[in-house]
Amino acid sequence: MRLTAGSSDAVDLDHVDLFDPELFALGDPHAIWDVMRAEAPLHHQTLPDGRTFWSVTRYEDVCRVLGDHRVFTSERGTVVTQLGQDDIAAGMLMTSTDPPRHTEVRRSISGRLTARAVASWEERIRRAVVGFLEPALDGGRWDLAEGAWRLPMIVAGALLGIPERDWDELVRLTAMVTAPTDPEFRIGAEHATLTIAHHEIFEYLNAHIRQRRAAGGEAETLFDHLMAVRAGGAPLTDEEIAYDAYSLLLGANATTPHTLSGTVLTLIERPEQFDKVQADPSLTPALVEEGLRWTSAACNFMRYATADTDVAGGTVRAGDAVVAWIGSANRDEAQFAAPHQFDVVRAENRHVAFGFGPHYCIGAPLARMTARIFFEELFRMFASVELDGEPQHLRSIFIAGMTHLPLVTRKRATP
């Protein structure tokens, strides 16, 4: 997906197709979202097979839809690829469960993922990032996007107690879930790809649960902690544990790699921004926040209206699907000054890249720390980073990212 918006002069909202993966792989949805925010903040689309959905694109409306679980439920599905098919994981998968049960399960896990709790992982993450970046020191061609897929698993896999030998396969399977039409990950038709990926992930997680139960002992990993969680006065079932572990894996693997790759590409395209951070490393946390806003890797979330509801100047009916476009909200002129400018010294940056409301990303502190360390080490190790070929964007209507970002680097001289 193009991260820098082009001209919106030729956008015809009567013929916009936000369900087309090619738009996100090769096109420019930002130009479309600009027009939708101005002219159709509540936009209706009917697919050729008869399925329909509403889109909200303004920051305020996106926060309304994601923040009000009573009116906009998560329990029929939250990913646009599930449109028209009720989520079989509703009430078990954290992302597909509304409060109060969602709150009970989330609260029991979130204590392990606060900024204070994950601080102890900093040195381990730093070692992993340095090891990840070291191959680029020789100045040869290096594909950041291809390698970055694995980086979050170094953290999430260790937190969950998943053996390193299994990380690459789980990364591949979660990529199949988020981009089932991308040639890199597709196996036959989209539905077949999703079915295979879900089956293999849950087979693996259920086997891991059985193994951890057989091992017994103290809770050492986040997986063990899930097995000890109680919600509604009862322990989670093995099925619920598998679903929640899946949610954590998917959250880690689906977004962080694309935030890193997209931010690096943007810095290459705007060398003055690269120079600012290189000259003043204290800007790194602000760079991370601007990168999160700019890339909006999880570019949408879906909800269903539980009753006839007025939103964004119109009315959606009970049972209608509503897609909240994160990528658009994070470029809303009413919320961000000069939203289509990438600015590492942006003063006000209340982006919604991690979502909003009850389902705000539980792993946000860990993702922020991983990104901060990544850029600290990138600027410490390299004097320059340049493109060495065309980026290849992910063919996905859910995740805005890249499959390939070929680079060449020049390492910094040793002081």
CATH assignment of the domain containing 200:
1.10.630.10
Q: Is residue 4 part of a domain?
A: no
pLDDT of residue 312: 96
Q: Among candidates 232, 196, 243, 306, which has minimal Cα distance to 89?
A: 243
The answer to whether residues 382 and 136 touch, using CB atoms and an 8 Å cutoff, is yes
pLDDT of residue 225: 81
Radius of gyration of the chain (CA): 21
Q: How many domains does the chain have?
A: 1
190 in helix, strand or coil? Answer: helix
Distance of CA 325 to the CA centre of its chain: 13
pLDDT of residue 219: 60
Q: Is residue 175 part of a domain?
A: yes
pLDDT of residue 218: 58
pLDDT of residue 29: 94
Q: What is the value of pTM for the model shown?
A: 0.94
Q: Among candidates 43, 90, 146, 95, which has minimal Cα distance to 398?
A: 95
Q: Is residue 294 part of a domain?
A: yes
Q: Which domain holds residue 114?
A: 13-411
Parts of the chain with a pLDDT under 70:
217-219, 414-415
Q: Is residue 7 part of a domain?
A: no
The residue to which tokens 């020049």 are assigned:
410
The answer to whether residues 361 and 367 touch, using CB atoms and an 8 Å cutoff, is yes
pLDDT of residue 244: 87
CA distance readout (Å), 360 to 43, 159, 315: 24, 20, 25
Q: Is residue 313 part of a domain?
A: yes
pLDDT tens sequence across 219-229: 678 878 888 87
The answer to whether residues 273 and 344 touch, using CB atoms and an 8 Å cutoff, is yes
Q: Is residue 68 part of a domain?
A: yes
pLDDT of residue 415: 55
pLDDT of residue 217: 57
pLDDT of residue 393: 93
Q: Is residue 100 part of a domain?
A: yes
pLDDT of residue 255: 87
Q: Is residue 1 part of a domain?
A: no
